[in-house]
Structure 1
Amino acid sequence: MASLPHIATATSSAAIRLFGFIFLRWIPGHHFVPIIFTSLAVYLTSLVLLSRNDHPRSNRSRSTTKGSKRTRGPKTSEPGDSGLKTLLTGLPSRRSPLWTWTTVLINITVALLTIDFLIRGLVLYPTTAVSFSRIGYVSSTTANLLFREPDPSQLPVVISYREVSSPSSQKLTEEGTVYKLDNSTDYTAAVTLKNLKPSTHYKYSLSNNKTGSFITAPQPGSPAANRLSFVTSSCIKPNFPYNILSHPLKIPGIEKMTEALGKLPALLRPAFMLFLGDFVKLSRWPCHRPPLIHTLDDHEIANDWSQGNKTAPYPAAADPFLHYHVAANPPIPEKAFAHPDEVTYFSFVNGPASFFMFDTRTYRSAPSQDNSTILGHAQLQSLLAYLSTPEPEGVHWKIISSSVPFTKNWHVGTTDTWGGFLNERRTVFEAMWRTERELNVRVVLLSGDRHEFGATRFPDPSLELPPSELQSDTPGLGIHEFSVGPLSMFYLPIRSYYQTDDEDVSVKYAPDGNSKFGYIDIADGADEVDPAAPAPVPVRSSILTYSLYVDGEVVWKYRLSIPLEAAAGARATQDSAKRIHFPPGRVLEDKLVKNGWDVAFKTAIGRTEELAHYCLDIATATYYTLLDKVQAAERLS
């Protein structure tokens, strides 16, 4: 029977390797680090105990054979003592010290790689001296420029710009000078470049040798304003999956996205990127980089944060978000219903679309209560005002971004999404459906957070769609949500997204891939408003095409459209009750692998995890109920 040191050695060795692999290549969760190093300490201690136990046995063996006649014969070893067993289990080999030292070295190397992943970037590339510049929100006449310069010898910093098409000898236009930078803003400053021309390519220069370029948005109402392309994703972590040969600050997903976008024609290059939370500060961004617009989520603060904007660590965590992201973001809504200095939700118009960007962390309360709010009173009122406001001529889309998904089809961690705020979600959806019915604009939802892709539609109940149009994994009518992530992070090989009712109709689910982003292109074109009709009628439409990229390749495309010829569109989209609705969504391309045996296995794992969370919630609720009763009894006594 194996001794306790043998069991401890084998178990701790297995834990080092298993959790080391998970942390470095699968899920870089902080809770795995103490497990790895505790297991290493147990493993080394157990080895020492085993070696001490072996020495007396060797001495006794020598004393019993001393003076006796030595018998020559073949050299033997203990049963099961082999190099393969030593390498696999981590147990020492009495026959070969080389195998013992090799397996010890393997376990120590796993721990060293963990340390390298954690601290190499911090030690070799400290952020205190980082100097950079980037472009944030760009309108038709302005551009927000953010820069960081901690070196006082570079001050003052002069900001200038010129048109790229102008002669290099032309004098730069000086926008302004920043004389002072200090630790109160972490040595950052935001400057707005003004009086720019629409649809024009500009280059900016800073006196500290930082340069960059950007293209202004088109003039509202102009022919160029009929087209808009942009990208969206969430969640990044440098050098993951971990590669010892890679730069510790390298983000593979950004490189894959940059390469993919670089292959697009100039006309289709994205105007900006909506980054929907769980971001780290970057001082480097590759070529073909779009301007960045940011939304706050939990990992800028703490996991599943729902404790408001006053409780620690929110104030300290939000400070860099304000200086590095909000400072370069779009303007706040005209009707913000709060003091401008306390608003972290945004609204803007670009080409054929207007945008409302949620902050679903700062103002939320605890989930799953009757009065739970994910937006807070002021942001909710601002959203309702935005939805009820008609858009200018030529703006056909209201695009709303949320750091967490609207759908409740994800059945693990549901309460951290809009699934934990269903009453407020219903209020928002009713306003969206009313907007589509009354304003003749189409509402599209974009979200992130889940490290998976899920396309979901939310049909307007007034359409009274038949059951055949509410089946799982089908395109069709309704407000559509496209939730995508991560841009460069881990993904879970389990299936936790599935449809359970006819409120949230699943369209497509794609969980796999360390790098995922959505590319949205809106342009005028001809579309069939009712493809299922015996004689489809193509009419001039504003067409939104969503392309899902996984690991740098397009794997799925989907189309939504809005007829621009009102009479033809109305004739083609009237249903039996004479209500007018938009054409159904359509799948244009699907390269995703169909369901196989592994999907059933991963689904079973997902359901098991869901059941475990459910049992844990029941046990926790029961515990607190009993605790309340005990405390009440003690007070009475």
Structure 2
Amino acid sequence: MSWSRVLTTSYGAPMMADRLLWATSAASAVYLRATAFLFVRMLPLGYRFMPKISGAFVISLASFTLSRQHVRSPPSARTSALWSTLPILFGTYSRRNPLASFAGLLLNILAFIACMDFIYRAHILHPSESLAFSRTGYVDSNSARIVLRDPAARSQSQFSYRASTSSETETIPVPALTEDSDYTATLELIGLISGIRYFYNTTGAHAGSFVTSAAALKKFTMISTSCQKPFYPYSPLAHSLAMPGLSHLARYVESTPPEFILFLGDFIYSDLPMQIEPLTTRFYRQLYRQIYASPSWTRTLRDLPWIHVFDDHELINDYYPNMAGGEDMYSRAMDPFEHYQRAANPPRADHDGRKTYTQFRRGDASFFILDTRTYRATPPAKASGGSGSRTMLGAEQLGELLWWIDAEDGWKVVVSGVPMTRNWSEGGDEMDSWAGYLDEREVIFQALWRVGGGVIVSGDRHEHAAFPESHTIIEFSTSPLSFFYQPFLREYVSHDETIFNLPQGSSKFGQLTFDSSDEKKWMIGFELVVDGEKAWEYEHVWSRNQSS
């Protein structure tokens, strides 16, 4: 006995099967299309949406097929133009309008294909194994670091560079580029002249330039941001490695390049929009290559000095070492971070390559780059309120940070991958930020308050917030460079003390201008850029009599 006959017999209503199939087709089709749009254009959380999208797609196909076999007439006899479009709008089958019915079915199929395209196109079509590029890492007044990748490079390739003020060329050998380092190498150039542009090229046809820092800076700018993922927001016509936010940044810095760019983590996403492979070193390396293979890069962006922090999505969401498999995951994920980024970061004074936290100076500002993942204790349950003797930094890093706060003169800029002050609360991952490590944070804040305060630069939250100068510690937290924000049902709650909070915008970065020209009144100017347009500006004054 057919399924339609069973329903007809059971309910005693000849049209019951027709109506039920129509309702099932309509509901599954509407849910499929709406959720697919939400996934690819607004909230790319595949672990949350793809099971629902897949289920709705299967139900829509099954109900459509059953409708073709069993439905004898539509649930209404109306024949107006509006009713004739219902099969398209709701993905239902109508014997009176089979063309519209199959058009509706096609829309359902395209919605599902768009999700698959969003998840897999870059992985399948652009593994970027043959990628060759060069970029600038940390640069100061007399040295620079250049990252090269070239799988086809000869073992005896040469790197040549010269100052723009000279015709003399220096040449150094390029280390062998092997599979062990994913065919990358970081070259350190020393003995440079301050405040001038250098040009370089290699026998592998790489070319670029960089500008050394002035010896005595009283005013400089830097860019701060974090979080990016290619192919978002999804468009079937876009390149699967394109990043609109990177294009916004390229246009912004073209005319007035900053001194350097701080990228504060989530340079790659191993798990969004979905984790599509086991988290091996090979997979992590591919994600880095795909970012650097993006067509959104310009020569200006590659020539600017980039300094990188890693955060959780370079490993997996909300990573901490004691999570299941955490130590093995860390070693696999740190392999490409070392070769593509850490080796080109500011060097540590002790040259300890095992530690990713470090310091550097620029003008009258001293920067301490924190490692907030390697040493952190298991985060607490939210009900604990975040108090307790747990550590995010580990004893050795915390001790070095406290020594730095007391020893350095001028601005003290703490660079943290996750927000540090009371910018936001709530959210499922609140304890992943410094809110879960309040006692250790209090030790750091007390040390900063003793010397007149400090500046914190952070990312991670896919929002912008500045929080508050009244406590002499001001934080500028800005992200994402190119990824999603929560347009509704926001998890995070900003506080009354927050100077400014802006969740909207799939591309955000901040430009900070440090100006110590006036000995008694030092200034920090901040400009927030959202989707390529200036959205907010602010001026923070630090009175010199506050410093010890």
Shorter-chain-normalised TM-score: which range? 0.7 to 0.9
| SS of structure 1 residue aligned to 2:52 | helix
8 A contact 2:159–2:200 mirrored in 1: yes
* Percentage of matched positions with identical amino acids: 35
Q: Map 1:134-533 to 2 at 5 A.
A: 134-151=135-152, 154-166=154-166, 170-178=167-175, 180-219=176-215, 222=216, 225-264=217-256, 269-280=257-268, 281=288, 282-283=292-293, 285-289=297-301, 290-308=304-322, 311-332=327-348, 340-368=352-380, 370-391=388-409, 396-408=410-422, 409-412=424-427, 413-436=429-452, 442-457=453-468, 476-494=470-488, 495-498=490-493, 505-525=497-517
TM-score (normalised: structure 1): 0.73
Farther off after superposition, 303-312 or 278-287:
303-312
Please give the per-residue CA displacement for 1:391-418, whole angstroms capped at 9, x wherever unaligned: 3xxxx21111111001343321211110
8 A contact 2:320–2:326 mirrored in 1: no
How far, CA to CA, are the matches of 2:439 and 2:75 in structure 1?
A: 71
How far residue 540 of structure 1 moved from its aligned partner, in angstroms, is 4.8
How far, CA to CA, are the matches of 2:504 and 2:110 in structure 1?
A: 29
8 A contact 1:135–1:214 mirrored in 2: yes
How far, CA to CA, are the matches of 2:78 and 2:25 in structure 1?
A: 16
Q: Map 1:67-78 to 2 at 5 A.
A: 78=76
8 A contact 2:32–2:108 mirrored in 1: yes
How far residue 346 of structure 1 moved from its aligned partner, in angstroms, is 1.4
Please give the per-residue CA displacement for 1:166-213, whole angstroms capped at 9, x wherever unaligned: 3xxx342113332x2222111111110111011111111111001111
Change (3 A) 1:344 1:45: same
Please give the per-residue CA displacement for 1:39-78, whole angstroms capped at 9, x wherever unaligned: 2222112211222223xx59xxxxxxxxxxxxxxxxx984
Please give the per-residue CA displacement for 1:61-120, whole angstroms capped at 9, x wherever unaligned: xxxxxxxxxxxxxxx984357233222221112210011111111111112222222222
Change (3 A) 1:425 1:85: same
Who is 2:280 aligned against? none
TM-score (normalised: structure 2): 0.84
How far, CA to CA, are the matches of 1:44 and 1:77 in structure 2?
A: 19
8 A contact 1:333–1:382 mirrored in 2: no
How far residue 260 of structure 1 moved from its aligned partner, in angstroms, is 1.7
How far, CA to CA, are the matches of 2:55 and 2:492 in structure 1?
A: 35
| SS of structure 2 residue aligned to 1:341 | coil
8 A contact 1:333–1:345 mirrored in 2: no
Amino acid at match of 1:52: Q
How far, CA to CA, are the matches of 1:477 and 1:425 in structure 2?
A: 14
Change (3 A) 1:262 1:500: closer
How far residue 155 of structure 1 moved from its aligned partner, in angstroms, is 3.0
| SS of structure 2 residue aligned to 1:18 | helix
Amino acid at match of 1:131: A
Amino acid at match of 2:478: V
How far, CA to CA, are the matches of 1:263 and 1:341 in structure 2?
A: 36
Please give the per-residue CA displacement for 1:294-322, whole angstroms capped at 9, x wherever unaligned: 00111111111123595342221221111
The runs of at least 4 consecutive aligned structure 1 residues that moved more than 6 Å come to none
Amino acid at match of 2:298: P
How far, CA to CA, are the matches of 2:408 and 2:483 in structure 1?
A: 39
Structure 2: any 5+ residue segments left out of the alignment?
1-15, 269-287, 381-386
- Larger Rg belongs to: 1
How far residue 33 of structure 1 moved from its aligned partner, in angstroms, is 2.9
1:552 is the counterpart of 2:532: yes
8 A contact 1:218–1:350 mirrored in 2: no
Question: Does 1 or 2 have the higher relative contact order (CA < 8 Å, sep 6+)?
Answer: 2
Q: CA RMSD in A?
A: 2.3
Amino acid at match of 2:360: F
- Equivalences, count: 491
| SS of structure 2 residue aligned to 1:311 | helix
How far residue 498 of structure 1 moved from its aligned partner, in angstroms, is 4.3
Who is 2:130 aligned against? 129
How far residue 506 of structure 1 moved from its aligned partner, in angstroms, is 1.1
| SS of structure 2 residue aligned to 1:318 | helix
How far, CA to CA, are the matches of 1:312 and 1:10 in structure 2?
A: 47
1:39 is the counterpart of 2:39: no
